[in-house]
Amino acid sequence: VPNLARLALAWDAAKMDILLMLADPQSATGHSGGTDFLMSPDGALRRSKGDPAGLIYAGAAIVHPRLFKDAPAGPHSLNAYFDAAITAGRLYGMVMHGHWITVGTPDAIP
């Protein structure tokens, strides 16, 4: 099953505000930063604070539309939503299958 289909199948609006696709840093190319999240056995996420055992946010997410009800009109970071969902116990993750390649900078392209 493709990763985006797996993400859709894993979505549970009753317990999640946000579901993130995550990559294992050991299965990643071009990622020069630390990790983003630690995942509990039930999939709940918390910030990794640089813990090397953490996972990397792979850029795909399902976000419940209600979170954007009072969102500012201009550009803003999703990190505030991630943190609010962590506080509420409603941020979850799914580790993707396969190799993840980040191309955030030209130097990251192999």
Report pLDDT digits (tens) over 4-51. 999 999 999 999 999 999 999 998 888 877 899 999 999 999 999 989
Q: Where do the domains of the chain lie?
A: 3-101
pLDDT of residue 110: 65
**Regarding predicted confidence, which is higher, 33 or 78?**
78
What CATH topology corresponds to 3-101? Spore Coat Polysaccharide Biosynthesis Protein SpsA; Chain A (3.90.550)
**Regarding predicted confidence, which is higher, 102 or 85?**
85
Q: How far apart are CA 25 and CA 42, in angstroms?
A: 20
Report the percent of the chain where pLDDT is more than 90: 75
- SS3 sequence of 21-83: EEECHHHEECCCCCCCEEECCCCEEEECCCCCCCEEEEEEEEECHHHHCCCCCCCCCCHHHHH
pTM score of the predicted model:
0.91
20, HSE (Cβ side, Cα atoms, 13 Å): 28
